[in-house]
Amino acid sequence: MTNHELQTLLALERTKLPPDGGPLYNRLIFANSPYLLQHAQNPVDWREWNPETRAEARSRNLPLFVSIGYATCHWCHVMAHESFEDDEVAHILNHAFIPVKVDREERPDLDQFCMAACQALTGSGGWPLNCFLKPDGAPFYAVTYLPRESRHGVPGLLALLENIAQLWQHRQNALERNARSLMTALEQLNTPRPAPLTFDPAALADQAAADLRRLYDQSNAGFGAPPKFPMPPRLLFLLGRKDPAEREMALATLRALRNGGIWDQLGGGIHRYSTDRRWRIPHFEKMLYDQALVAYTALAAYGLTQERCYREMADDLLTFALRELAAPEGGFYCGLDADAGGEEGACYLWRRAEIEEALGEDAAWFCTRFGVPAGGNGEEPGEQILFLARPEAGEPEQLRQACKRLLLLRNQREQPLRDSKILTGWNGLMLAALARGAAIRDNRCWLAAARRTAAAISSNLTRPDGRLLRSRCNGSSSEIPAFLEDYAFLAWGRLELYHATHDPADCDAAARLCREALRLFQTVDGRMQTVGNDVEPLPLPLFDHHDGALPGGASVLVMVLRRLAATTDDMAWERQAWKLLRPYQDALQRAPTDHLWLLAALTPVNRRTAPP
């Protein structure tokens, strides 16, 4: 879907359509999520996840087929084109299942629940995520991307749907046994273990650092094998360590990101991950949370080293976000698609002949600087992803003009879809980065953008009773109550804004968000649920403390509570932080590298200390 096609659907007079969408659309035409609207013209009779859909599954005794993805996901598009636009697939989904489409960014709780089922069954996960649920919501099978047709002995989606439809009709008890077994396994994983008798955060931090040293790629920086993600929680943890060698792992990774193809060398911003060890071949979507967290990390590196390269990284990321993702009403959109014109990365790829034609005599040094051989480094012969191979090639003004010419040329191509949702939590992350940058760089533009973001969330994503909402799109806010990460990330952003402005209202807002988070999300055993206690629960409680590309909501909340204590001299916040930590001590002991933000949050803080 192009940006024009999305805007056309959003501008459609949908109140005049019948409840099922009519002959041209399905029921998703009434959604605001760009991801759901991408599927509004599928022959599949998609529903949204709501009480009416679940009631229909119960009344018709049909399993739910819940397909989860997001608007900027390349493989979600592939599966949509191969399968969900296919009449034969649509026929079986419409008659043997209740098909449901879910935007994972709007419903991280459903995504977390179905992903846990998928990982328990297959040992891995990803998107698109397709989960089969009983009418009561219990999962019995889950897979990620599947082609339409069977390949190399692996069943395709069509064969899988036919098989499950037959099992549901003739051997439903077998699928119900699968569901009971899977739910038992998930409940066991979810059961808290007793806190250890001894708990030494410093020793656990040392253990986590040692684990990261073993994972570190000495040749190319970063951690582990491809696909390689920026992983800001790891970098910020290492930047907070005293060992220069551990800090250097983070600094070297930042430099590798900046020089690699994962960085948009012409337009700014960072792509989601690299498919190779050397950071040169990206998966091309650009997510708001990456821009915010990598910018924050670069600012931390600049504060530590005073080296210009890290300051320029943050400048580049925040400038890109303000140019490409800022919403006119305030706040920031979710991100940019990996695809353009139906091809992954098409907007960003070059051929040497194009560069030579555009730059003339400047092409030779430009190609030397950005590693452009005649043969290319993309999937197709001659395709080139720009990366910084020879930083010394070209004078600064010469470089600026050459990049400007190529960017103007690139902007004439079909542009990636912009996912125009505004998410409360992700905007909290960008608020934190902008406010931190404004404080360090005395940048009034960033401060103004931070102020607009905070005001937009207060005005547009807060109910009259004060309850935060999750998302907003096309001038309309969803009815989905915000999750733990929304409260924690926004509280962090407001506290950063306080340190940039010293306006007591921002500190009060952060404190209020923390109090509300504790009221809405804390269980009787002290753990923090993903979903508020004022929301209809899923079949299994969900808890949010592991770090991935984003930090866990509970981890960020602990950090904010401790910083509030240091900021206000109110030690009640400190006591609450340690109380909140208690249920996670066993998880920290067993897997410290999965809880780096939480470990970093336990280091001593004061008003002049940067967060982890």
Which residue has better confidence, 436 or 540? 436
At residue 605, does pLDDT exceed 70?
A: no
In a domain? residue 578: yes
CATH of residue 454's domain is: 1.50.10.10
182 and 276 in a single domain? The answer is no
153: alpha, beta or left, given left = phi > 0 and alpha = psi -120 to 50?
A: left
284 and 376 in a single domain? The answer is no
At residue 235, does pLDDT exceed 60?
A: yes
71 and 171 in a single domain? The answer is yes
- Predicted TM-score (pTM) of the model is 0.94
In a domain? residue 195: no
CATH of residue 64's domain is: 3.40.30.10
DSSP string, 84-128: IT-HHHHHHHHHHSEEEEEETTT-HHHHHHHHHHHHHHHS---SS
394 and 431 in a single domain? The answer is no
The domain boundary, picked from 155, 190, 225, lies at 190
CA distance 425 to 490: 6
The domain boundary, picked from 392, 412, 432, lies at 412
Least confident of 167-171, 196-200, 462-466, 544-548: 196-200
Reading the block at residue 89, the tokens are 């697939």
Q: Is the dihedral of CA 438, 439, 443, 444 positive or negative?
A: positive
Q: Are 598 and 581 in contact (CB under 8 A)?
A: yes
At residue 609, does pLDDT exceed 60?
A: no
Kindly indicate the confidence band of residue 607, based on its pLDDT and cuts at 50, 70 and 90: very low
As a whole number, mean pLDDT of residues 372-377 equals 71
At residue 82, does pLDDT exceed 60?
A: yes
259 and 184 in a single domain? The answer is no
458 and 310 in a single domain? The answer is yes
- Residue type for position 296: Y
Least confident of 54-68, 194-208, 300-314: 194-208
Mean residue pLDDT of the chain comes to: 93
Q: What is the pLDDT of residue 608?
A: 40
288 and 408 in a single domain? The answer is no
In a domain? residue 517: yes
Which structural domain, as residue segments, surrounds residue 260?
A: 201-339+419-601
Instruction: Name the domain count of the chain.
Output: 3
Number of residues that make up the chain = 612
37 and 175 in a single domain? The answer is yes
Q: Look-up: residue for tokens 């990321």?
A: 317
The domain boundary, picked from 386, 412, 438, lies at 412
163 and 73 in a single domain? The answer is yes
